[in-house]
């Protein structure tokens, strides 16, 4: 869990790479998050990935003590 998310900025968008799961297992979910930014703040997230892998990963994060992993999704 020592790795951090890696960000690359392209104009006003960021690319996010996940370092893995807190239990040390790899997180191999091929997809993309397109994150719109204005003045250094996120205003839009378009997540395209395998939702079943996301759900399984959130269970691992919750078991590691990250309570937000089981929170209701943010809807806009």
Residue-range definition of the domain harbouring residue 18: 6-70
pLDDT of 65:
92
Q: Reduced to 3 DSSP states, what percent helix, strand and coil does the chain have, rounded to the nearest 5?
A: 20, 35, 45
Q: What are phi and psi of 9, to 5 degrees?
A: -100, 130
What does pLDDT average to in each consecutive run of 10 residues of the chain (76 residues)?
56 65 79 79 85 90 92 82
pLDDT of 21:
80
In this structure, how many other beta carbons lie within 10 angstroms of the beta carbon of residue 57?
A: 19
Q: Is residue 75 part of a domain?
A: no
- Region class of 52: left (phi > 0), else alpha (psi between -120 and 50), else beta: alpha
In this structure, how many other beta carbons lie within 10 angstroms of the beta carbon of residue 6?
A: 11
Q: Is residue 29 part of a domain?
A: yes
């Amino acid at each position: 869990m020592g790795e951090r998310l890696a960000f690359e900025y392209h104009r006003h968008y960021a690319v996010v790479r996940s370092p893995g799961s807190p239990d040390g297992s790899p997180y191999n979910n091929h997809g993309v998050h397109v994150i719109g930014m204005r003045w250094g703040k996120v205003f839009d997230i378009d997540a395209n990935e395998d939702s079943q892998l996301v759900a399984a990963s959130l269970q691992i994060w919750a078991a590691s003590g990250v309570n937000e992993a089981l929170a209701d999704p943010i809807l806009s």
